[in-house]
Amino acid sequence: MTEPVIEAVDVVKFLGHGPGRVEALRGVSLSLTGGELTLLMGPSGSGKTTLLSILGCILSPSSGTVRILGRSTAGALPEELAQLRREHVGFIFQSYHLFPTLTAVENVRLALDVCGNRSSLAAVKAHAALATVGLGAKTKAFPRELSSGEQQRVAIARAIVGKASAILADEPTAALDSANGQAIMSLLSEIAKDPSRAVLVVTHDPRILPFANRILRIEDGRLIGEERCAGSALTTPQPDARE
């Protein structure tokens, strides 16, 4: 059996202080393995984003254990967590969070730059990552010159360019129309075919269920269900529908 890319064991997370303190996660255990696209679904306030933040080493659990490729994050300092993120985790955000003053290829290169990879090879890798997401012809475009779907593809290219083992996506299709949402999920399911990569997608969107290999349901900070699926409904990236 292959080692999980990310493993969480009995994770508890309290948020806030004093009377406003809430238990956002109540003993969550899961593992994400390479070659799988996992959907994490649940209503608002169920703890999805908190769990994503903990699995992505942005937040530390109040108790419980998180391991990234077998390495525990317990007791890690903020800079050590940052190092884990840049080496092993690629994030995709609902609002893309591209840098508006950088071109598409510069946005992608930035992920390598923060890792200290500043060689000429970095530019080659960034171009290749953009080609992978179907934007090989728009490498010099600024985010404002790209459609929402294209911007999300740049964000995906940024997440995968560093060969991160875990791709964590927070509502990646929420700001997209149906066609673009399908195209983005196709890309993510292609990425998830790589056995060295695990893809976790937090979503409300039932339209993307067919792309999942596994669906986790969370409610009130607890995982309440897990389904195995065929996955990969669409495996070919769809042409972008400009919004």
Partner 1 sequence: MPLVLTLASRNLFHDRVRFVATLVGIIFSVTLVTGQLGLFLGFERMVTAMIDRAHADLWIAPVDTKSFEATALLDGHERFQALPIDGVREVIPVIIGFTYWRKPNDGSLTPVLLIGVQLGSGGLQPWNVVEGNPDDLSTPDAVAIDQSYFERLGIARIGEYGEIAGQKARVAVVTKGIRSFTTTPFVFAALDRARSYMKAPPSSATYFLVRLAPGTNVEAVRSQLAADLSAADVLTSDEFRRRSRSFWLFGTGAGAALFGSALLGVVVGTVIVAQTLYSSTKDHLIEFATLRAMGSSRGYIYTVILCQAVLSALIGFSIAALVGVGLAKASAETALPVVVTPVLILGLLVLTVGMCAVSAISAIVVVTRVDPVTVFAR
Q: At 68, which amino acid appears?
A: I
> How far apart (Å, rounded) are the C-alpha atoms in residues 110 and 107?
5
What is the C-alpha radius of gyration for the chain, rounded to an integer number of angstroms?
Answer: 17
x/- letters, 130..169, toward partner 1 (CB under 8 A): ----------------------------x-----------
Q: Residue 203: what are its φ and ψ, rounded to 5°?
A: -155, 155
Q: Looking at 17-25, 83-91, 176-184, 228-236, which segment touches partner 1 (CB under 8 A)? A: 83-91
Q: Looking at 6-14, 113-121, 130-138, 215-223, which segment touches partner 1 (CB under 8 A)? A: 113-121
> How far apart (Å, rounded) are the C-alpha atoms in residues 150 and 153?
5
Tell me if 111 contacts partner 1 by CB under 8 A.
Answer: yes
Tell me if 115 contacts partner 1 by CB under 8 A.
Answer: yes
- Can you read off the two tokens belonging to residue 231? 């996955």
Q: Residue 120: what are its φ and ψ, rounded to 5°?
A: -65, -20
Tell me if 127 contacts partner 1 by CB under 8 A.
Answer: no
What DSSP string runs through 217-240? Answer: EEETTEEEEEEE----S--SPPPP
Smallest distance, partner 1 to C-beta of residue 34, A? 20
| Contact between 159 and 97 (Cβ < 8 Å) | no
Tell me if 194 contacts partner 1 by CB under 8 A.
Answer: no
- Pick the binder of partner 1 from 69, 76, 82, 233 (CB under 8 A): 82
Q: Which positions lie near partner 1, rule CB under 8 A?
A: 49, 52-53, 56, 58-59, 79, 82-87, 89, 91, 93-95, 97, 99-102, 106, 109-111, 113-115, 118, 158, 170
